[in-house]
């Protein structure tokens, strides 16, 4: 497990935990045109879990190059008083350039 910095992000972990994989798969399930493969992740706890994934982005077109992106996903805390399904959401996707 990555080392946690108080009020900050953990370091990147290159082995996805079941929770991280579940958050990524749930949030990215509806994405089309690009296949995202998570390589590493970091987390921050604040009103839920914020994930920062480093991902390989492979467009479904042959002429486009594979790139590296940072995808931020947020999984809100579940409300104990109102049992509703809380799904992780994609907050941002940024291309990482040299």
Q: What is the mean pLDDT of residues 42-50?
A: 90
Between CA 3 and CA 11 the distance in angstroms is 6
37 with 54: CB under 8 angstroms? no
Residue 77 pLDDT more than 90?
no
Q: How confident is the model at residue 78, as a pLDDT?
A: 75
Q: How confident is the model at residue 35 (pLDDT cuts 50, 70, 90)?
A: very high
Residue 94 pLDDT more than 90?
yes
Residue 75 pLDDT more than 60?
yes
Q: How confident is the model at residue 14 (pLDDT cuts 50, 70, 90)?
A: very high
Between CA 94 and CA 50 the distance in angstroms is 15
Higher pLDDT, 90 or 79: 90
Q: Which residues 6+ apart lie within 8 Å of 38 measured at CB?
A: 16, 20, 21, 24, 53, 54, 55, 71
């Amino acid at each position: 497990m990555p080392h946690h910095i108080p009020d900050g992000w953990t370091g990147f972990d290159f082995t996805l935990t079941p929770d991280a994989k579940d958050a990524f798969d749930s949030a990215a399930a509806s994405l089309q045109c690009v296949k995202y493969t998570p390589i590493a992740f970091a987390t921050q706890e604040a009103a839920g879990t914020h994930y920062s994934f480093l991902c390989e982005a492979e467009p479904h077109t042959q002429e486009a190059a594979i790139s590296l992106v940072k995808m931020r996903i947020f999984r809100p805390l579940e409300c104990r008083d109102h049992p509703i399904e809380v799904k992780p959401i994609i907050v941002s996707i940024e291309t990482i350039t040299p």
